[in-house]
Structure 1
Amino acid sequence: MNPQHLLSRRQWLRRVAGFGAALGGGAGASLLLPASSVQAADYRALVCVFQYGGNDGLNTIVPTDDARYAAYAAVRGELALPRERLIAVPGTDFGLHPALSSLATMFAERRAAPVWNVGPMRRRLDLAGLRAAILAGDASAVPDNLFSHSDQQVLWETAGASTLDRTGWGGRASQALATTWPVMAIGDAGLRFGLSSQSGAVVLPGPGTDLVPAGFSTADLATAAGAARRDALAAMYAAPGDSALADAFVAGQQQAFDMASGLASLVKVQPGQASALAAVDAAFAPLVANGGIQTSMGQQFYQVAKMVAASAGLGVRRQIFFTSQHGYDTHRGQIARGDVLAGDHARLLTEFGDAVAALHRAMAAIGLDGAVTTFTHSDFGRTFRPNRSLGTDHAWGNTQLVFGSSVLGGRGWGLHPQLQLAGPDDIDALATEPAGRWLPTTAVEEYVATLLRWCGADSSQLAQALPNLSAVSGSSPLGFLPA
Structure 2
Amino acid sequence: MAGTTAAPFAVNLAAMGNAAAQNASDYKALVCLYMAGGNDGFNTVLATDSASWNEYQRLRVTADNKSIALPGLGATGGVLPIAPINSQGRSFALHPRLGTVKSLFDAGNVAILANVGTLVQPTTLAQYKAASVKLPPKLFSHNDQQSMWQSDAPEGSLSGWGGRMGDMVASANSNQTFGCISVSGNAVFLTGKQTRQLQITTEGLPGITNLSAGLFGTQPGSNPLQAIITGQGDNKFQNDYAAVVNRAIAAQGTLQAAMVPAGAGGIPNPTQYVNPNTGVAAANPLALQLQAVARVIAGRNTLGVKRQVFYVSMNGFDTHTAQATAHADLMARLDHAIAYFNTVLAALQGTDMRQQVTLFTASDFGRTFTTNGNGTDHGWGSHHFIIGGAVKGRDIYGNFPVTGVNHALDVGSGSLLPTTSVDQYGATLATWFGVPAAQLASVFPNIGNFTTKNLGFMA
Alpha-carbon RMSD across the aligned residues, in angstroms, is 3.0
Once residues 359 and 378 of structure 1 are traced to their aligned partners in structure 2, the CA distance between those partners, rounded to angstroms, is 20
**How does 1:308-323 map onto structure 2 within 5 Å?**
308-323=297-312
**How does 1:332-347 map onto structure 2 within 5 Å?**
332-335=321-324, 343-347=325-329
Q: 1:175 to 1:242 in 2, by over 3 A?
A: farther
Aligned counterpart for 1:204 among listed residues 195, 200, 205? 200
Cα-to-partner distance string for 1:67-86 (whole Å, 9 max, x where unaligned): 21222222112111122211
Asked if 1:479 is matched to 2:456, the reply is yes
Contact kept? 2:428, 2:453, Cα under 8 Å: no
Aligned partner of residue 342 in structure 2, secondary structure: helix
Q: What is the TM-score of this pair, normalised by structure 2?
A: 0.82
Aligned counterpart for 1:86 among listed residues 73, 79, 83? 79
Aligned partner of residue 69 in structure 1, secondary structure: helix
Contact kept? 1:39, 1:316, Cα under 8 Å: no
Report what 1:260 is aligned to: 252
Following TM superposition, by how much is the alpha carbon of 1:267 offset from its aligned partner in structure 2, in angstroms? 5.5
Once residues 86 and 407 of structure 1 are traced to their aligned partners in structure 2, the CA distance between those partners, rounded to angstroms, is 24
**How does 1:264-303 map onto structure 2 within 5 Å?**
264=256, 269-272=261-264, 275=265, 277=266, 280-281=267-268, 284-285=270-271, 294-303=283-292
Once residues 164 and 203 of structure 1 are traced to their aligned partners in structure 2, the CA distance between those partners, rounded to angstroms, is 19
Cα-to-partner distance string for 1:36-83 (whole Å, 9 max, x where unaligned): xx9995110000011000000110111122221222222112111122
**Unpaired runs of at least 5, structure 2:** 1-5, 12-21, 62-66, 275-280
Once residues 44 and 359 of structure 2 are traced to their aligned partners in structure 1, the CA distance between those partners, rounded to angstroms, is 16
Following TM superposition, by how much is the alpha carbon of 1:351 offset from its aligned partner in structure 2, in angstroms? 0.9
Following TM superposition, by how much is the alpha carbon of 1:364 offset from its aligned partner in structure 2, in angstroms? 1.3
Moved more, 53-62 or 306-315: 306-315
Asked if 1:48 is matched to 2:46, the reply is no
- Matched letter for residue 314 of structure 1: L
Aligned counterpart for 1:406 among listed residues 390, 394, 413? 390
Aligned partner of residue 309 in structure 2, secondary structure: strand
Report what 1:184 is aligned to: 181
Following TM superposition, by how much is the alpha carbon of 1:259 offset from its aligned partner in structure 2, in angstroms? 1.0
Report what 2:191 is aligned to: 195
Report what 2:115 is aligned to: 117
Aligned counterpart for 2:438 among listed residues 439, 460, 472? 460
Aligned partner of residue 190 in structure 2, secondary structure: coil
Report what 1:15 is aligned to: none
Once residues 197 and 163 of structure 1 are traced to their aligned partners in structure 2, the CA distance between those partners, rounded to angstroms, is 17
Report what 2:314 is aligned to: 325
Asked if 1:420 is matched to 2:408, the reply is no
Contact kept? 2:29, 2:307, Cα under 8 Å: yes
- Matched letter for residue 108 of structure 1: D
Contact kept? 1:152, 1:379, Cα under 8 Å: yes
Aligned partner of residue 302 in structure 2, secondary structure: helix
Contact kept? 1:211, 1:268, Cα under 8 Å: no
Aligned counterpart for 1:223 among listed residues 193, 210, 214? 214
- Matched letter for residue 113 of structure 2: V
Report what 1:156 is aligned to: 149
Following TM superposition, by how much is the alpha carbon of 1:269 offset from its aligned partner in structure 2, in angstroms? 3.5
Q: What is the TM-score of this pair, normalised by structure 1?
A: 0.78
Contact kept? 2:424, 2:452, Cα under 8 Å: no
**Unpaired runs of at least 5, structure 1:** 6-37, 336-342, 429-434
**How does 1:137-156 map onto structure 2 within 5 Å?**
141-156=134-149
Once residues 412 and 114 of structure 1 are traced to their aligned partners in structure 2, the CA distance between those partners, rounded to angstroms, is 5
Following TM superposition, by how much is the alpha carbon of 1:200 offset from its aligned partner in structure 2, in angstroms? 2.4
Contact kept? 2:149, 2:362, Cα under 8 Å: yes
% identical aligned pairs: 31
Following TM superposition, by how much is the alpha carbon of 1:130 offset from its aligned partner in structure 2, in angstroms? 1.6
Once residues 286 and 173 of structure 1 are traced to their aligned partners in structure 2, the CA distance between those partners, rounded to angstroms, is 34
Following TM superposition, by how much is the alpha carbon of 1:189 offset from its aligned partner in structure 2, in angstroms? 4.2
Q: 1:162 to 1:470 in 2, by over 3 A?
A: farther
Asked if 1:99 is matched to 2:77, the reply is no
